[in-house]
Amino acid sequence: MIVPGSDVATAAGFGGKPPARAMRVTFRPWENEGKTVLGFVRLELPSGIVVNKCKLMIGPRGRRWLALPSERQRYTDASLRLVDDKPVWEPTVEIPDKEVRERFQEQALAALGRQYPEAFAGDEP
């Protein structure tokens, strides 16, 4: 019997599922004026799901993290919603569970570091 989602050739030859795919990353360097954004990241997850428009961010102490896609909130007249004169962002993709989010960040940054070590400019990812 072939398991749904398995590779037919692998299942026929070895009777099991194909090995899990690694997370694949595409990185495009880019800096904003405040130098808090280091570039844009495209993630291809082992499941095959692709998450576009992530941002590689850097905090004031040099810690890097990935911001998942989001967009600026707007009023019905298309004007930006501001709080304290700053735009409010609404997540397009979010991971509400803290433990899952932290594990995702670790795995994504590790994949980015393996495939684009220059994104870490001498830091350990």
**Mean pLDDT, the chain, whole residue set:** 86
pLDDT at 125 over 50: no
DSSP string, the chain: -PPTTS-HHHHHHHSSPPPPPPPEEEEEE---TTS-EEEEEEEE-TTS-EEEEEEEEE-TTS-EEEEPPEEE-B-TTSPBPEETTEE-EEESS----HHHHHHHHHHHHHHHHHH-GGGGTTS--
Question: What band does 8 get if pLDDT is binned at 50, 70 and 90?
Answer: low
Question: What band does 21 get if pLDDT is binned at 50, 70 and 90?
Answer: confident
pLDDT at 1 over 50: no
Higher pLDDT, 124 or 48: 48
Q: Are 15 and 1 within 8 A, CB to CB?
A: no
Domains defined along the chain, listed by start? 21-120 (3.30.1120.40)
pTM of the model: 0.74
Residue 78's pLDDT is what?
93
